[in-house]
């Protein structure tokens, strides 16, 4: 039943797209969302299949097409060359949504907000699995088909409850991967790559990279090999690709899970968090660089390990940001260029460049600390100076305010 509704929605989407193209070609008219909603009413009067579908949620499908067009025109105006909104095959179509709880769908949550069932008009009662974090009034739902499985993503109106701790914590990333130093007896063997830590705190403790990383890397490689052995265009190859895709999805889920857990733990511990601002451009640029500007430390940065955790810092920080706002905890993202966490000494004002291979901070003042710990401390000191009560305007005045320098204090 879900599948039949899915097919009808996909047809509706494509028909609406065709109608827009046709109206433009024949009459030079741009159809609007409102025009198409009127057409929808007529369609529902003629076609019993569509009459059986929930009217409001059909509008959601039309709205989605409208948004695709809006995005297209916005990017055209911005001088970019976006792809025209395209027809969606059943494989590309993702699903549909409902706008109002009680209109076309109804959620019956189980005990303790766990599992339960969902009623969808024209389909019936469906058991659902999953858990809501906070109690609240259901608002909208998205029914999605992903890799042969059905998902319902419900948004609720709720007051998130989250408590923060009392510690003040600076943290730094230890994402990069580095090899062990070559040993005398190593012979021709390449040193085994090692995963660095995921996070290092200012007191020297930290969070290790998740153990699933190594395992998934092996599995991905194995599945990739299976794919490359199959003949192009063959049925077996398609199966192997699907298998590889599922593995990628599994890893992505575990990664998200790990990041959620770690960010929640951090908020539960701290009232003030400090880290360095992420340089997004640096993180997305390929390690190899270009011919004119070859990248540094290509070998250290390459590898599947990195691809698995690619984007993890920005995902993690955005989770911390949301959770900090929920809990009323302060997150300070220190401007990297200004305070240079990896070059500055946490004990004195000296600065000294380090290469990526230098894992220890050694300063003339006698301060010796692991590199990541030192930079976590530098960030923490910066945050304390910004938000601490004992600091006069001298310190704050020295730091011109900008969007990133103001601590994000949740109301
Ligand atoms: Zn020093």
Q: How far is the CA of 346 from the centre of ligand 1 (A)?
A: 7
- Residues 262-298 have pLDDT tens digits of 999 999 999 999 999 886 544 444 444 444 455 555 5
Question: Do 76 and 110 sit in the same domain of this protein?
Answer: no
For residue 351, report the distance from its CA to the centre of ligand 1, in Å. Answer: 8
Residue 236 to residue 222: CA distance in whole angstroms: 16
Per-residue pLDDT averaged across 204-228, rounded? 85
Q: What's the first-to-final CA gap in the chain, in angstroms?
A: 46
- Please give the share of the chain, as a percent, with pLDDT higher than 70: 81
Q: What is the C-alpha separation between 198 and 72, in angstroms, rounded?
A: 38
What interhelical angle do 55-77 and 33-46 show, nearest 10? 150
Angle at 316 between CA 221 and CA 164, to 5 degrees: 140
Mean pLDDT of 307-333: 87
pLDDT in tens, 75-87: 999 888 888 999 9
The Å distance, Cα 367 to ligand 1 centre, comes to: 5
322 C-alpha vs ligand 1 centroid, how far in Å?
A: 35
Same domain, 387 and 269: yes
- One domain, residues 61 and 140: no
Residue 275 is part of which domain span? 167-180+192-398
* Domain presence at residue 407: no
pLDDT value, residue 81: 86
Ligand 1: centre distance to CA 319 (Å): 33
- Cα angle vertex 376, ends 370, 380, to 5°? 140
Residue 314: pLDDT band (50, 70, 90) is confident
118 assigned to some structural domain: yes
SS3 of 358, please? coil
Which tokens is 59 given? Answer: 């509008």
The DSSP H or E segment spanning 385 is helix 371-387
Mean pLDDT over residues 212-233, rounded? 87
Q: Determine the distance separating the centroid of ligand 1 and the alpha carbon of 163, expressed in angstroms.
A: 36
**SS3 assignment, position 61:** helix
Write out pLDDT tens, residues 41-56: 999 999 998 998 899 9
One domain for residues 212 and 264? yes
- For ligand 1, the distance from its centroid to the CA atom of residue 368, given in whole angstroms, is 8
Q: Residue 279, SS3?
A: coil
**pLDDT for residue 135:** 80
Please state, in angstroms and as integers, the Cα–Cα distance from residue 256 to each residue in 115, 174, 351, 403, following that order: 21, 18, 36, 27
- What is the per-residue pLDDT across 386-397, written as a single tens digit (0 to 9) for each? 876 544 333 333
pLDDT in tens, 164-207: 999 999 999 875 444 444 344 444 444 444 556 789 999 989 88
* 229 alpha carbon – ligand 1 mean position (Å): 56
Residues 111 and 68 in one domain: no
Count structural domains, the chain: 3
- In b/e form, how buried is each residue of 234-262, taking b as 16+ CB within 10 angstroms? eeebeebeeebeebeeebeebbeebbeeb
- Average model confidence (pLDDT) for the chain? 82
Predicted pLDDT at 329 = 93
CA–centroid distance, 88 to ligand 1, in Å, is 60
Give yes or no for residue 404 having a pLDDT over 80.
Answer: no
343 lies in the same domain as 218:
yes
Do both 113 and 80 map to the same domain?
Answer: no
Q: For residue 333, how far is its CA from the centre of ligand 1 (angstroms)?
A: 23
Establish if 409 belongs to a structural domain.
Answer: no
- 340 and 197 both lie in a single domain: yes
Task: Give the Å distance between the CA of 344 and the centre of ligand 1.
Answer: 8
Statement: residue 360 has pLDDT above 70: yes
Q: Which residue in the block uniquely carries the two structure tokens 């007529």? A: 42
Domain assignment present for 391: yes
Q: What is the distance between the alpha carbons of residues 339 and 395, in angstroms, rounded to a whole number?
A: 13
Say if residue 163's pLDDT is above 60. Answer: yes
Residues 205, 308, single domain; the answer is yes
What is the separation of C-alpha 362 from the centre of its chain, rounded to a whole number of angstroms? Answer: 36
> Which pLDDT score, from 0 to 100, does residue 82 have?
87
| Inside any domain, residue 291 | yes
Instruction: Give the tokens for residue 317.
Output: 């920080």
Distance (Å) from CA 173 to ligand 1 centroid: 21
Residue 348 lies in a domain: yes
pLDDT higher than 90, residue 12: yes
Q: Examine the domain organization and report whether 59 and 174 are in the same domain.
A: no
Distance 370 CA to ligand 1 centre (A): 13
**61 and 173 inside one domain:** no
Q: In terms of domains, do 112 and 248 share one?
A: no
Reply yes or no on whether the pLDDT at 406 is more than 50: no
30 within some domain: yes
Tell which phi-psi region holds residue 187, choosing left (phi > 0), alpha (psi between -120 and 50) or beta.
Answer: left
Question: Separation of 343 CA from ligand 1 center, angstroms?
Answer: 10
Ligand 1 centre to CA of 374 (Å) is 10
Indicate whether 384 belongs to any domain: yes
């Amino acid at each position: 039943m879900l599948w039949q509704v899915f097919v009808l929605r996909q047809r509706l989407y494509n028909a609406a797209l065709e109608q827009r193209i046709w109206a433009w070609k024949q009459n030079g008219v741009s159809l609007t969302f409102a025009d198409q909603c009127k057409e929808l009413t007529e369609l529902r009067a003629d076609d019993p299949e569509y009459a059986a579908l929930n009217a409001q949620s059909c509008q959601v499908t039309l709205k989605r097409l409208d948004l695709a067009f809006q995005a297209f025109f916005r990017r055209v105006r911005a001088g970019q060359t976006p792809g025209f909104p395209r027809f969606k095959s059943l494989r590309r179509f993702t699903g549909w949504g409902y706008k109002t709880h009680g209109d076309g769908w109804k959620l019956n949550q189980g005990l303790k907000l766990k599992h339960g069932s969902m009623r969808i008009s024209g389909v019936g009662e469906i058991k659902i699995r999953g858990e809501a974090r906070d109690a609240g009034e259901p608002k909208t739902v998205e029914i999605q088909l992903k890799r042969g499985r059905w998902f319902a993503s419900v948004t609720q109106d709720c007051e998130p409850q989250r408590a923060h701790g009392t510690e003040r914590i600076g943290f730094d990333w230890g994402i990069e991967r580095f090899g062990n130093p070559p040993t005398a007896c190593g012979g021709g063997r390449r040193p085994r790559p090692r995963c660095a830590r995921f996070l290092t705190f200012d007191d020297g403790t930290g969070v290790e990279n998740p153990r699933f990383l190594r395992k998934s890397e092996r599995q991905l490689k194995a599945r990739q090999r299976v794919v490359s052995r199959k003949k192009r265009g063959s049925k077996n190859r398609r199966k192997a690709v699907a298998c590889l895709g599922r593995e990628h999805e599994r890893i992505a889920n575990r990664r998200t899970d790990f990041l959620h857990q770690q960010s929640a733990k951090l908020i539960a511990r701290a009232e003030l968090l400090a880290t360095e601002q992420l340089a997004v451009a640096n993180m997305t640029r390929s390690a190899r660089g270009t011919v004119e500007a070859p990248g540094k430390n290509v070998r250290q940065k390459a590898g599947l390990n990195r691809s698995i955790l690619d984007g993890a810092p920005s995902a993690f920080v955005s989770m911390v940001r949301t959770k900090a706002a929920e809990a009323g905890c302060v997150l300070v993202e220190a401007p990297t260029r200004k305070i240079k966490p990896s070059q500055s000494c946490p004990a004195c004002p000296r600065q000294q460049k380090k290469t990526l291979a230098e894992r220890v901070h050694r300063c003339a003042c006698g301060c010796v600390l692991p590199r990541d710990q030192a930079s976590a401390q530098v960030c923490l000191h910066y945050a304390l100076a910004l938000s601490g009560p004992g600091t006069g305007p001298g310190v704050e005045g020295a730091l011109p305010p900008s969007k990133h320098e103001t601590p994000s204090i949740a109301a």
